[in-house]
Amino acid sequence: MGTFPLRLGDLGSWVGSVGTGVALIIAFWQIVILRRDRDARQASLISMWISGKSLKGNATETGLDASVEISFLNASTQPLGQVLYEVRLGSKKQWGRVGPVAPDNEVRKKTIAFSDMTVDDANAAAEMDIWFTDEAGHRWSRNQTGRLKEGVRPPSDFRTLGFKFGIPHTNKTENEGQDDSKGAPA
């Protein structure tokens, strides 16, 4: 019965090969982490927040009217095509968009009006979520707590309203603006 002798030269080759493989894996892992940090840099500088809320009775006295003031800021060095938002007040919600948003480090404000609300809805805390695409084409969302998340599509409500995510709608067809008597969707 013969045995296969293990030579030290063979062991050194194996150790060197395994070490090289481990070094490549560590280098690749560091590149992935650095890229993720770089990609999140612009997204972390985009923010929207609720900056005020006011209530008043309406003329028909069927409920309360409320207005929510939202503020948005692009503190990055790159412009954004648009930022989609959803503002919720009690059981009511409204969607909209702002943009293009210049990288001017200036806080802009917009007022969102809610009408004919119940007392409970009008007195609820206002919440807001946003969705946007950064310069590299990565999709981001930020929820009402400020948590930033990559790769999140906006809710289907935006798609059914005809919003184009991240790209302003400027592509006009040659038939746009003409009467379409066949009932085809515009």
Specify the CATH number for the domain of residue 91: 2.60.40
Please check whether residue 94 lies inside any domain of the structure: yes
End-to-end CA distance of the chain: 84
Which pLDDT band, with edges at 50, 70 and 90, does 83 fall under? confident
Comparing C-alpha atoms, which of 148, 130, 153, 145 is closest to residue 41? Answer: 148
pLDDT the model gives residue 2: 65
Which pLDDT band, with edges at 50, 70 and 90, does 176 fall under? very low
Please check whether residue 91 lies inside any domain of the structure: yes
Q: Domain total for the chain? A: 1
Q: Which domain holds residue 49?
A: 44-160
Please check whether residue 109 lies inside any domain of the structure: yes
Q: Which residue has the tokens 């805390």?
A: 125
Please check whether residue 179 lies inside any domain of the structure: no
Please check whether residue 35 lies inside any domain of the structure: no
The answer, yes or no, to whether residue 164 has pLDDT greater than 70, is no
Please check whether residue 8 lies inside any domain of the structure: no
Strand pairing category for 139-142 and 126-133? antiparallel
pTM of the predicted protein model: 0.64
**For residue 100, is the peptide bond before it cis, meaning its omega torsion is within 30 degrees of 0?**
yes
pLDDT the model gives residue 40: 77
User: Residues 167-176: what's their mean pLDDT?
Assistant: 38
pLDDT the model gives residue 175: 38
pLDDT the model gives residue 59: 58
The predicted-structure confidence for 48-66, as pLDDT tens digits, reads as follows: 898 988 887 765 566 788 8
Which pLDDT band, with edges at 50, 70 and 90, does 9 fall under? low
Please check whether residue 2 lies inside any domain of the structure: no
Q: Which residues contact 122 (CB under 8 A, 6 or more apart)?
A: 55, 63, 64, 66, 89, 90, 114
Q: What integer best gives the mean pLDDT of the chain?
A: 77
b vs e for 56-80, b when ≥16 Cβ sit within 10 Å of the residue's Cβ?
eeeeeeebbbbebebebbbebeeeb
Please check whether residue 32 lies inside any domain of the structure: no
